[in-house]
């Protein structure tokens, strides 16, 4: 069905369950000649990894990427690149009772209804573990986009429950475990998380991401729009419930005079469009905002049913994040990069490697 | 590139420019034996049509669908169904000056940057005119979904600028030109629209849609999720800037105890998930909410540039809606139906025509 | 299902039944800026048309192409190009009795078994009428390939029943209604066809096609091979039972020393490979040979069954070619051009618009 | 680009180079609930393996399949099934000089022209090593097809150079290393191969395959025809130069009265169609015949050029089959099974799990 593949021309197919032997991906369509080494995956995978702080779940995954194919003497050859990560920390005993019950807010029930069988270990295929391979694949996309077009993709946590950033500094984002843009608020966040953990509850989050230096012209009308593909990409991430481009839902209450981004040769006066008009990039930064629901794996008991059709109380034990959104920033960035990479190739398929068209708005 | 096609197994390919000779679509993968007649398209196309009230643009499109193929003796044959609508009301003179300028908030500039050529008549391919064929194709999807699975898809206008519904009544929705669920507010809406038109400005809107009786099990992990495909579908509609499933962005400030939908055999206690968990339908109503930006075609002059690279003032004359969202409800419904239709077929491809699996939550 | 679409990046979707209101196609992914006019389709459609000689069926189809979209001021815009041809010569009375019987060698029975319904008028979707749109779409592909890469695609009838060409002259091919490369044999062919028609029987044929100036590097390992896609393309033509690339089935009895094409910088010493190695073009002419079965619509009665499950004698009345292969040359050329066009775009998607790589074999 | 994926609904993506760390595949779309164990791959992989006789190359690959995902407690779960085989016998020294030269008849030159880089070790991605994963994936397809529909897929060597079978016995096929259907000829074949090896040359072969019990109705008009997909599948196998369905090229010289398969309720009188009409299965055995060129890796020196653009003499040392077709039978069977599996799912997507339609020809 190819439902585990993402992208038309830079196609990433992922596989693997949370507690199976391994997870991995196959990247098809990567341009040849790109230098890539196993150690280049490390930084991004560590950024994503659980266990990076006491505020995310305490699994220790030694996510070492093995490149199985598609790279020769350190360069991509144009053939499919397969990446493999062994699951080393399985502790499947944590999930033993889960096999008989449907946890509220999880995919347990829906997988069961769809397939009549499910792998209950650690959420199986529905686990956020799968997103590791998105981040890995995006390492390659990000490198090519940067080298070829100077594209830079960055993200940050824009809301944690009801807390929003007071200040904004890109440098701050990488200096704290929350990807929070205001360093002065980190203590407040830690306190909030501690209280949350103590209560056994969880909370939602909002993640924003931005891609700079995207050339104008990427994206395709009308079902291959850049924002359409971004929306699908973001909504495919576990726990995502909403996606906004540019001004997003704020557009509803805006006036046309306010929303439209006026144009001068030295630039647009605003970016309510989020860098996309008619599904095609304008040359402005592409901005996306994503809503994550509070994780459903919590210690507070919840009402559910079991396989036998009996009412049960469910408590999710084990290692879980009280806010799944905290470690989502690298995943949102990854999906943004993967969509851009795909459209970079799609653009040159139809329109060739063209230079700037006049007039070009700065 | 297939970027003008939507759906994997119920594939709708649309074509046509706003002011070209015709618009149309080809539907590939429709199950055989479905009864369908040209007049069955009329109701839905009229619901969508511009000119239905003084609050939408005053074009009069006599949208008569011609079935060119795929139907024999009133029934679908399994071969591609081509639908054609001639453009009768072209008045291309309205758009003459548009060819030389890039209107702020429109796709003019991005199409130019992408292709180095563009059809400026009425927005060309970027016009909302294209969505007519989505509504037409969805007529077939809705009929099959209703006959086969009892699925019902409905939508309504949930916000107009800053106005929100006070009451809710499905019957009201079809009784006013706004698809507004509270009949008592219609006068207020008309007054707001009149003021808006007078000011030459426009405003955004929110449209909600719901699909009832969707069986559990539709949707595919992990890049073929039902909500992922819905997000792409909605974001592909002109002027859409945001998509929410279920609780959407409200999830950000929710607690896990609040968000998760507890389960009993006689039903879920809430539907924050919007009928989807892990990308697969739960059996609850599938709910989606969509943000429309204020239309950019307004009478208030705006700053822009022209093809010669000179600064210009742009005023969009001609017939335009001061709120594009007003006539968007049928389009949102259509995209919801098309996604469900596609997943109905995808589900039975992999899992067969299976009956209910126990335990089944009501 | 997209089974009526061909090509990944230059995607042609065809629709229409032989005796329905119209046939047509939508071409998605065409590069922008290509000059194209309705009259440019005429020559190729006439080459393909039935009725061009007394040896092909006597339908008179006035195949006038209407361009419905994707072209503005005579140039492609990058948006989908829809082409429409009305069916003017339907004479559906000829096919009246066909609805109740399954003609041997036709798709009647298989469509019935698949769909439980079929359009019996003129073969419906299974008619060779559909190939008209392949030829039309290929007009665009051939023009782009010629302008951009100097590619030339040509074909000829290489065998008619047991008759094979004695001489070979490309100029002769276009000078006789058989696309036969030896003008001296035309009288012999006509005599054979007359005898065949008199006997009420039919005969098979072989068509060869060649593409010159294909750059090295087109085609993709391993399921997107140029020859793999060509094989599918040719086998999708009505009545085709075999496809050969280069030496084809003669390779079976060849030795490696004989088959392998040795390489010098000024060229290959032979072309048993048919211009393709490892699924990728070598720069030599791409050669393909296609076997057409004798048409099954013949006057000699044949044993079959009817819808009621009774044995019946079937005689196919009406206008039919005693050799369907005679008019197949333009169709084989068209499919060769469409595959090359698709791969031209696919190549530049992954590898860019690159110039020659050294060493380049002439 | 997805060019390393095969199948629309039962999608097999393969990866890996001949002498890289591993080869593998990801199977997406497999129905849930199918029992499958690692040891079930052994038989088919051994049938395919090189080294099974002195007439095939002497590599010893211990092809042990590891199931990385998609199977839980011995049953498929509906999520992607990843299979991995480590390359244990690399001996890359054999291929050292190959990096600088383009071997005639190989993909060396075309990969170089396409990508500007290539993995020369053992043919890299262009090696027949890749076909191992086709056979592995087909193990799953064959099991499902057999359990669900009683489909049986078998093949045999139908020609070796100029030698053709005198008798035919399915039991003989599995009893000799040539998959030859006449046991009495095995000594003759061995003698021919010995002579060939002594001469340092190679020879071509023809492989036939048959699928029995395929229900009528599989396959889709017009670009998703069962025979179209089979042609692509077969042509995608290394060294294949021709594909025939049913009577194949013999159809060219046949008369319509001879070729058409007359129909009775108790069966067809012949099977020149090869079980397919209009691209859709008839219910008769699906038959396909495939031409393999003589392997290009031979000991007789051949003229070529090197990377520096100098003329060179090339001799292929190392372990190579003097007839690549000898071990191709399991691969042809695999591709036949994969295409049927894909169409089984495609058929039920559009038409449902329908029972027999009357009248049904035995």
- pLDDT tens digits for B281-319? 999 999 999 999 999 989 999 999 999 999 999 987 766
- pLDDT tens digits for C11-43? 999 999 999 999 999 999 999 999 999 999 999
Residue D51, pLDDT score: 46
- Counting as contact any 3 or more CB pairs under 8 A, the partners of A are B, C, D
CA distance A24 to D83: 11
pLDDT category at C51 given cuts 50, 70, 90 is: very low
pTM of the full predicted structure?
0.97
Q: Which residues contact B212 (CB under 8 A, 6 or more apart)?
A: B151, B152, B153, B154, B285
Share of chain C above pLDDT 90, in %: 85
Residue D224, pLDDT score: 98
Residue C119: which of B1, B21, B77 has the nearest Cβ? B77
Residue B112, pLDDT score: 96
The full DSSP string for A169-182 is: -HHHHTTSTT--S-
Residue B293 labeled ligand binder: yes
- CB-CB neighbours of B39 under 10 Å: 9
Residue B321, pLDDT score: 80
CA distance A125 to A107: 10
- Counting as contact any 3 or more CB pairs under 8 A, the partners of C are A, B, D
CB contact under 8 A, C260 and D227: no
Please compute the mean of the pLDDT values over residues A62-80 and round it to a whole number.
Answer: 95
The full DSSP string for D244-298 is: EETTGGGGGG-BHHHHS--EETTEES--TT-SEETTEE-SSPEEEEEEEPPPS--
DSSP C294: P
CB contact under 8 A, A242 and B254: no
Residue stretches of chain B with pLDDT short of 70: 1, 50-62, 89-96, 318-319, 355-356
Residue C319, pLDDT score: 63
Alpha-carbon distance C26 to nearest alpha carbon in chain A (angstroms): 14
Residue C352: which of A30, A348, A351 has the nearest Cβ? A348
Residue C263 has pLDDT above 60, yes or no: yes
Residue C54 has pLDDT above 80, yes or no: no
CB contact under 8 A, C13 and B1: no
Residue A211, pLDDT score: 98
Alpha-carbon distance A85 to nearest alpha carbon in chain D (angstroms): 11
CA distance B248 to B271: 11
Residue C8, pLDDT score: 97
CA B247 and chain centroid, separation = 20
The more confident residue out of C318 and B33 is: B33
Residue A324, pLDDT score: 92
Residue B51, pLDDT score: 46
The more confident residue out of C362 and D156 is: D156
Residue A294 labeled ligand binder: yes
Residue A80: which of D4, D68, D82 has the nearest Cβ? D4
Residue stretches of chain D with pLDDT short of 50: 51
- pLDDT tens digits for A78-116? 999 999 999 986 555 555 677 899 999 999 999 999 999
Please compute the mean of the pLDDT values over residues C156-173 and round it to a whole number.
Answer: 98
Contacts of A32 in chain C (CB under 8 A): 350-351
Supply angle C-alpha A340, A345, A349, rounded to 5. Answer: 140
- pLDDT tens digits for A272-305? 999 999 999 999 999 999 999 999 989 999 999 9
Q: Which residues contact A111 (CB under 8 A, 6 or more apart)?
A: A118, A124, A125, A126, B221, B278, B280, D78
Is the Cβ–Cβ distance between C256 and D105 less than 8 Å? yes
Instruction: Give the number of A-C residue pairs with CB atoms closer than 8 Å.
Output: 43
Alpha-carbon distance C37 to nearest alpha carbon in chain D (angstroms): 27
CA distance B261 to B326: 32
CB contact under 8 A, B232 and A236: no
Q: Which residue of C has its CA nearest to B19?
A: C69
CB contact under 8 A, B349 and D346: yes
Residue D265, pLDDT score: 93
CB contact under 8 A, D3 and C231: no
Q: Which two tokens stand for residue A78?
A: 């144009």
CB contact under 8 A, C3 and B29: yes
Residue B362, pLDDT score: 84
- For residue C273, the SS3 value is coil
CB contact under 8 A, C349 and A348: yes
Q: Which of A349, A351, A353 to mutate to test the interface with C (most CBs of C within 10 A)?
A: A349
Residue B348: which of D30, D32, D352 has the nearest Cβ? D352
Residue C353: which of A78, A221, A353 has the nearest Cβ? A353
Burial C26-55 (b: 16+ CB within 10 A, else e): bbbbbbbebebeeeebeebbebbbbeeeeb
């Amino acid at each position: 069905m190819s439902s585990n593949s993402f992208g038309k021309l830079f196609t990433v197919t992922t596989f693997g369950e949370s507690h199976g032997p391994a997870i991995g991906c196959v990247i098809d369509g990567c341009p040849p000649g790109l230098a890539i080494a196993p150690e280049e995956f490390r930084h991004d995978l560590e950024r994503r990894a659980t266990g990076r702080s006491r505020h995310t779940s305490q699994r220790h995954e030694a996510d070492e990427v093995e490149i199985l194919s598609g790279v020769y003497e350190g360069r991509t050859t144009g053939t499919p690149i397969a990446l493999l990560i062994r699951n080393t920390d399985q502790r499947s005993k944590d999930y033993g009772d889960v096999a008989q019950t449907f946890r509220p807010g999880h995919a347990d029930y829906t997988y069961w209804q769809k397939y009549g069988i499910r792998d209950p270990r650690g959420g199986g295929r529905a686990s956020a573990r799968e997103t590791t391979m998105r981040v890995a694949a995006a390492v390659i996309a990000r490198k090519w986009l940067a080298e070829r077009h100077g594209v830079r993709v960055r993200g940050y946590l824009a809301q944690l429950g009801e807390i929003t950033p007071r200040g904004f500094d890109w440098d701050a984002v990488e200096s704290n475990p929350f990807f929070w843009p205001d360093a002065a608020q980190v203590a407040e966040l830690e306190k909030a998380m501690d209280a949350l953990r103590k209560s056994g509850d969880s909370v939602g989050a909002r993640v924003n991401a931005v891609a700079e230096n995207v050339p104008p012209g990427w994206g395709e009308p009308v079902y291959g729009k850049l924002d359409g593909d971004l929306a699908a990409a973001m909504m495919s991430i576990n726990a995502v419930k909403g996606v906004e481009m540019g001004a997003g839902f704020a557009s509803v209450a805006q006036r046309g005079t306010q929303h439209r981004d006026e144009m001068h040769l030295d630039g647009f006066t605003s970016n309510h469009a989020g860098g996309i008009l008619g599904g095609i990039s304008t040359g402005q930064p592409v901005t996306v905002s994503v809503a994550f629901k509070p994780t459903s794996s919590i210690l507070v008991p919840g009402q559910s049913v079991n396989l036998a059709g009996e009412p049960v109380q469910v408590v999710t034990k084990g290692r879980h994040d009280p806010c799944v959104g905290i470690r989502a920033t690298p995943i949102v960035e990854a999906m943004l990069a993967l969509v851009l990479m795909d459209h970079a190739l799609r653009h040159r398929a139809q329109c060739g490697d063209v230079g700037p068209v006049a007039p070009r708005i700065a």
